[in-house]
Protein backbone atom coordinates (compact mmCIF):
# COMPACT_ATOMS: atom_id res chain seq x y z
CA UNK A 1 0.00 0.00 0.00
CA UNK A 2 1.33 3.40 -0.94
CA UNK A 3 0.53 5.99 1.71
CA UNK A 4 0.49 9.77 1.32
CA UNK A 5 3.56 11.55 2.74
CA UNK A 6 1.56 13.28 5.47
CA UNK A 7 0.27 9.94 6.72
CA UNK A 8 3.76 8.43 6.69
CA UNK A 9 4.92 11.46 8.67
CA UNK A 10 2.12 10.94 11.21
CA UNK A 11 3.17 7.31 11.65
CA UNK A 12 6.78 8.37 12.14
CA UNK A 13 5.96 11.24 14.52
CA UNK A 14 3.75 9.05 16.71
CA UNK A 15 6.29 6.19 16.59
CA UNK A 16 3.42 3.88 15.69
CA UNK A 17 4.06 0.34 14.54
CA UNK A 18 1.61 -0.76 11.86
CA UNK A 19 0.98 -4.38 10.94
CA UNK A 20 -1.53 -5.47 8.31
CA UNK A 21 -2.56 -8.66 10.04
CA UNK A 22 -3.64 -9.73 13.49
CA UNK A 23 -1.12 -11.70 15.56
CA UNK A 24 -2.15 -15.25 16.48
CA UNK A 25 -2.40 -14.43 20.20
CA UNK A 26 -4.84 -11.55 19.62
CA UNK A 27 -7.31 -13.31 17.31
CA UNK A 28 -9.23 -15.22 20.04
CA UNK A 29 -10.03 -11.93 21.81
CA UNK A 30 -11.38 -10.01 18.83
CA UNK A 31 -15.09 -9.67 18.24
CA UNK A 32 -16.43 -10.58 14.83
CA UNK A 33 -16.18 -7.69 12.36
CA UNK A 34 -13.18 -5.96 13.95
CA UNK A 35 -10.99 -4.56 11.17
CA UNK A 36 -8.39 -2.81 13.29
CA UNK A 37 -7.21 -2.44 16.86
CA UNK A 38 -4.65 -0.27 18.60
CA UNK A 39 -2.68 -1.51 21.56
CA UNK A 40 -0.39 1.22 22.81
CA UNK A 41 1.59 2.33 19.76
CA UNK A 42 0.93 -0.89 17.87
CA UNK A 43 -1.77 -0.89 15.22
CA UNK A 44 -3.07 -4.19 13.88
CA UNK A 45 -5.34 -4.16 10.82
CA UNK A 46 -6.81 -6.99 8.78
CA UNK A 47 -6.65 -4.95 5.56
CA UNK A 48 -4.70 -2.13 3.96
CA UNK A 49 -7.18 0.70 4.37
CA UNK A 50 -6.01 4.32 4.59
CA UNK A 51 -9.22 5.47 6.28
CA UNK A 52 -8.93 2.83 8.98
CA UNK A 53 -5.25 3.66 9.45
CA UNK A 54 -6.12 7.33 10.04
CA UNK A 55 -8.69 6.20 12.61
CA UNK A 56 -6.23 3.97 14.46
CA UNK A 57 -3.51 6.65 14.43
CA UNK A 58 -5.88 8.92 16.34
CA UNK A 59 -6.06 6.23 19.02
CA UNK A 60 -2.24 6.17 19.19
CA UNK A 61 -2.28 9.94 19.81
CA UNK A 62 -5.08 9.61 22.37
CA UNK A 63 -3.15 6.95 24.27
CA UNK A 64 -0.04 9.15 24.24
CA UNK A 65 -2.13 12.08 25.49
CA UNK A 66 -4.04 10.42 28.36
CA UNK A 67 -1.95 7.31 29.06
CA UNK A 68 -2.57 3.64 28.39
CA UNK A 69 -4.45 2.77 31.59
CA UNK A 70 -6.63 5.86 31.51
CA UNK A 71 -7.45 5.41 27.81
CA UNK A 72 -8.56 1.79 28.08
CA UNK A 73 -10.40 2.23 31.37
CA UNK A 74 -12.36 5.24 30.04
CA UNK A 75 -13.01 3.38 26.78
CA UNK A 76 -14.50 0.36 28.56
CA UNK A 77 -16.43 2.45 31.11
CA UNK A 78 -18.00 4.61 28.38
CA UNK A 79 -18.98 1.52 26.40
CA UNK A 80 -20.59 -0.11 29.45
CA UNK A 81 -22.45 3.10 30.34
CA UNK A 82 -23.73 3.38 26.79
CA UNK A 83 -24.94 -0.23 26.79
CA UNK A 84 -26.63 0.21 30.17
CA UNK A 85 -28.46 3.26 28.83
CA UNK A 86 -30.09 0.99 26.24
CA UNK A 87 -27.83 1.53 23.22
CA UNK A 88 -27.10 -1.31 20.83
CA UNK A 89 -23.55 -2.64 20.79
CA UNK A 90 -22.79 -0.68 17.61
CA UNK A 91 -24.26 2.57 18.94
CA UNK A 92 -22.50 2.13 22.29
CA UNK A 93 -19.19 1.76 20.44
CA UNK A 94 -19.90 4.78 18.22
CA UNK A 95 -20.84 6.80 21.30
CA UNK A 96 -17.45 6.42 22.98
CA UNK A 97 -15.75 9.85 23.05
CA UNK A 98 -12.46 8.42 21.77
CA UNK A 99 -14.29 6.79 18.85
CA UNK A 100 -16.07 10.01 17.94
CA UNK A 101 -12.72 11.81 17.72
CA UNK A 102 -11.21 8.98 15.65
CA UNK A 103 -14.20 8.87 13.29
CA UNK A 104 -13.87 12.61 12.70
CA UNK A 105 -10.25 12.13 11.62
CA UNK A 106 -10.89 9.38 9.09
CA UNK A 107 -11.26 11.63 6.09
CA UNK A 108 -8.63 14.28 5.33
CA UNK A 109 -11.05 15.86 2.85
CA UNK A 110 -13.70 16.37 5.54
CA UNK A 111 -11.08 17.77 7.92
CA UNK A 112 -9.92 20.32 5.34
CA UNK A 113 -13.49 21.57 4.88
CA UNK A 114 -13.93 22.34 8.59
Q: Which long-range contacts (CB under 8 A, 24 or more apart) does 110-114 make?
A: none
The pLDDT of residue 112 is: 46
Q: Does the pLDDT of residue 114 top 50, yes or no?
A: no
Q: What is the pTM of this model?
A: 0.88
The pLDDT of residue 66 is: 97
| Average pLDDT of the residues in 1-26 | 93
The pLDDT of residue 94 is: 94
pLDDT digits (tens, 9 = 90+) for 32-46: 889 999 999 999 999
Amino acid sequence: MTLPPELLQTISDSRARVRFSFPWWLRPFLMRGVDGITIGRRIYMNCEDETLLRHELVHVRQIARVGVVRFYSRYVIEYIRNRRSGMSSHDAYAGISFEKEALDAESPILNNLR
